[in-house]
Amino acid sequence: QSALTQPRSVSGSPGQSVTISCTGTSSDVGRYNYVSWYQQHPGKAPKLMIYDVTKRPSGVPDRFSGSKSDNTASLTISGLQAEDEADYYCCSHAGMYTLVFGGGTKMTVL
Amino acid sequence: QLQLQESGPGLVQPSETLSLSCAVSGDSISSSRFYWGWIRQPPGKGLEWIGHIYYSGSTYYNPSLESRVTISVDTSNNQFSLRLSSVTAADTAVYYCARIRTTSNWFDPWGQGTLVTVSS
C-alpha cells in the first residue's frame, strides 16, 4: 500500500485558480469513487473539503471543486484567497477496508 | 455538535506501548453510519491512516502497522482507544482521532490531535 502521489508544492496569485493532482493506481483512485480532500493549516487538525470525488460538505466554499480521471483525482481552487494557503491531502479507499493518503501539497498564495 | 478529544501520555519509552483514548461527545459511537478511526502525522510530514473500528468491534488496520496496532471501542463510555506496541522514535507523531463515514470513508470531524514523543 503506497502513498498516493501529490506535487510537493503549488502556488497561485489571489483570484487565480490552482489545481492539485493526486495520482494512485487502478486499485485505489482508479477503482473507487471514494476520494476525499483535506485542508490543514499549520498547527491545526485537517478539515474535510471534498468527499466522494466531487461533493462539498456544508460550509465549504464553492470555490473548491473535485474531479477524477482514470487513476488521478484533482482538487481545484478557483478565485484564490489568502486564507486558502495551507497543506492539502487527498485520501482514497484502497480495497479490503484500507485507506491511503497522499503525501500532501503545500499551497502558497503569492 | 460532534466533538472528539484525544487523551493519553505525551511521552512513551522506546519498546513500550503507546495508549491513547478518544472521547466522543455530541453523537453516539454506536451509530451504524460511521466508523471511528486513528490517523497520525510525524513532525513535518504527511498523514498516515492507522486504522478504524465499527461500534460492533470490527477492526480494520493499515497493513504496515497491523502487527503492532489494536483499536478497541467502549460503547458504554462513548469512546474508543488505540494501542501501538513496541514503539520506536519513528512512531513520534501527532495522533488524531476522527469519525469516518462508512462506504465513502471520509474523515469528519477530527480531534485536535495529541503529540506523542517516543524517547528515553
Contact between chains at A101 and B104 (C-beta distance less than 8 A): no
Sign of CA dihedral B34, A50, A10, A82: negative
Alpha helix segments (H runs only) across B24-108? none
pLDDT at A1 over 90: no
Residue A13 distance to chain B (closest CA, Å): 25
Q: For residues B50 and B39, is the Cβ–Cβ distance under 8 A?
A: yes
Identity at B16, one-letter amino acid code: E
What are A13-49's pLDDT values in tens digits? Answer: 999 999 999 999 999 999 999 999 999 999 999 999 9
Least Cα distance to B68 among B96, B45, B38 occurs for B38
Q: What is the mean pLDDT of residues A73-99?
A: 96
- B38, β-bridge pairs: B51, B97
Q: What is the pLDDT of residue B103?
A: 87
Contact B96, B41 (CB under 8 A): yes
Per-residue model confidence as pLDDT tens digits over B74-106: 999 999 999 999 999 999 999 999 999 998 999
Query: How far is it, in rounded angstroms, from Cα B80 to Cα B52?
Result: 10
pLDDT band at A70 (very low <50, low <70, confident <90, very high): very high
| pLDDT value of residue A81 | 97
Q: Which residues on A lie below 8 Å from B49 (Cβ)?
A: 91, 98-101
Percent of chain A scored above 90 by pLDDT? 95
Q: Among A35, A16, A22, A9, which Cα is nearest to A77's?
A: A16
pLDDT in tens, B22-70: 999 999 999 999 999 999 999 999 999 999 999 999 999 999 999 999 9
pLDDT range class, residue A95, cuts 50, 70, 90: confident
Residue B7 has pLDDT above 90, yes or no: yes
Residue A2, pLDDT above cutoff 90: no
Cα angle, residue A71 at apex, residues A104 and A97 outer, rounded to 5°: 75
Average pLDDT, rounded, for chain A: 96
Retrieve residue B68's grid coordinates: 503492532
Per-residue pLDDT, averaged over B1-24, amounts to 97
Q: Give me the pLDDT at residue A31, please.
A: 95
pLDDT for the residue A96: 85
Q: Which of B34, B71, B107 to mutate to test the interface with A (most CBs of A within 10 A)?
A: B107
